[in-house]
A = this chain, B = another copy of it.
Amino acid sequence: MKLTIKDVARAARVSVATASMAINNREGVSEKTRAKVLGVARELNYVPDHSARALVMQRSSVVGLMIPEIQNPFYSAIVDILTRIAEERGFTLLLGISNSNSRQEAEYVRMFLSRRVCGVIVVPMLANHPDISHLDMLRAADVPVVFCTENYALCEEPLVMCDFASGEYQMTRYLLDKGLTDFWFVSTDMDVQFARLRYDGFCRALREAGLAVNPERVMLLKSPRYRHAYDATDRIVDDLPQAVLCINDIMTMAIMKRMNERGLRIPRDVSVAGFDDVMFSELVSPPLTTVRQPLAAICEKTMEILEAKLAAGADQASVERGRTYLIQPELVIRETTL
């Protein structure tokens, strides 16, 4: 026996319409009546039904958040931050975990649609050339999409991301300034924008220092995963550079683990630098030198853009298509570099 606004109205001796207006802080209700309604509502522990509200208002306050994984601390941090931000602004997040699988992502898009989300935040999959035709369903239904952290090739929706190039540039500069010149760079398929950008930053720093990048020392892994990096480390160890720059912290930890097993001491024998500054980066030993993606700022901006698109409604001119918002990262020097 759920409590409806009718019960509140009856108890407050007003009409349903009045009760609704009072509860939603609309004007046209006397202060006295509003106070009474609110009092009764509180007393009865009335909670409005969001679905019914969404139904009549033709607009929900649910936003879909699509992520590729959740056990990966990078993504769980995003979920954590975005959940808080969304809640603060009166939205509720619906989570889709694609496991970097197009089919699953498509299924979650359908779920989002049937739950009538008012917008979707997409953190792209970890895959080379994923099938993203399901995004057309969102476009067809006029559901605004914002990319967070990264985007898919050829998508025109706005994107909020860390300035990867700048981050990798800064890190490379830092190592260069320490007198290191002999690097390995470990990355993934360069078709993926975020990999390419970090590489660009790395190259620029080298170029400015008058050094050439040695393509034999750029390792391109199939996907940016722990396992791949772990397995590939032996090649690096055999060559033993002065420093290894790696595209994300998860893989960096894999490399460190393998180096450890091979008897190398970090940073005495090799320096190692990551990217992301995931929660565990600080807890590993030795704690990881890395580039911090300012996730709080990124998520904040993402939500802001989404709200702007929502407010714009039909006349979408207000948010430029294809616009990218870059957030500046921050070097965090810990103990894996000397």
> A residues within 8 Å of B by Cβ?
1-3, 45, 47-52, 54-55, 58, 60, 69-71, 73, 76-77, 79-80, 83-84, 87, 92-95, 97, 107, 110-111, 113-116, 137, 140-142, 226, 253-254, 257, 260-261, 279-280, 283, 285
Q: A45-B137, A70-B76, A71-B73 are in contact. Are A50 and B257 (CB under 8 A)?
A: no
Which residues of chain B have C-beta atoms less than 8 A from A73's C-beta?
71, 73, 76
Which residues of chain B have C-beta atoms less than 8 A from A137's C-beta?
45
Which residues of chain B have C-beta atoms less than 8 A from A54's C-beta?
51
Which residues of chain B have C-beta atoms less than 8 A from A93's C-beta?
95
Q: Is the CB of A111 within 8 A of B92?
A: yes
Which residue of B is nearest A84, CB measured? B97
Complex: A37 Cα to B273 Cα, angstroms: 58
Which residues of chain B have C-beta atoms less than 8 A from A50's C-beta?
51, 114-116
Complex: A280 Cα to B281 Cα, angstroms: 12
Q: A71-B80, A95-B95 are in contact. Are A113 and B285 (CB under 8 A)?
A: no
**Known A45-B140, A83-B97, A94-B94; 7 more pairs at CB < 8 Å:** A1-B142, A2-B58, A49-B55, A70-B83, A71-B76, A83-B95, A254-B283
How far is the CB of A210 from the nearest CB of chain B, in Å? 38
Which residues of chain B have C-beta atoms less than 8 A from A280's C-beta?
280
Which residues of chain B have C-beta atoms less than 8 A from A55's C-beta?
49, 51-52, 55
Which residue of B is nearest A278, CB measured? B71
Complex: A257 Cα to B50 Cα, angstroms: 47
Which residues of chain B have C-beta atoms less than 8 A from A226's C-beta?
283
24 contacts between A and B (CB under 8 A): A1-B142, A3-B141, A45-B140, A47-B113, A47-B114, A48-B114, A49-B55, A49-B116, A50-B115, A50-B116, A51-B55, A51-B60, A70-B76, A70-B80, A70-B83, A71-B76, A71-B77, A73-B76, A80-B97, A92-B111, A92-B115, A226-B283, A260-B285, A280-B280
Which residue of B is nearest A95, CB measured? B95
Which residue of B is nearest A65, CB measured? B95
Which residues of chain B have C-beta atoms less than 8 A from A47's C-beta?
110, 113-114
Complex: A54 Cα to B54 Cα, angstroms: 12
Q: Is the CB of B51 within 8 A of A116?
A: yes
- Which 10 A-B residue pairs are closest in the complex by CB-CB distance? A51-B51, A47-B113, A76-B76, A47-B114, A70-B80, A260-B285, A50-B114, A70-B76, A257-B285, A71-B279
Which residues of chain B have C-beta atoms less than 8 A from A49's C-beta?
55, 114, 116
Which residues of chain B have C-beta atoms less than 8 A from A76's C-beta?
70-71, 73, 76
How far is the CB of A246 from the nearest CB of chain B, in Å? 15
Which residue of B is nearest A256, CB measured? B285
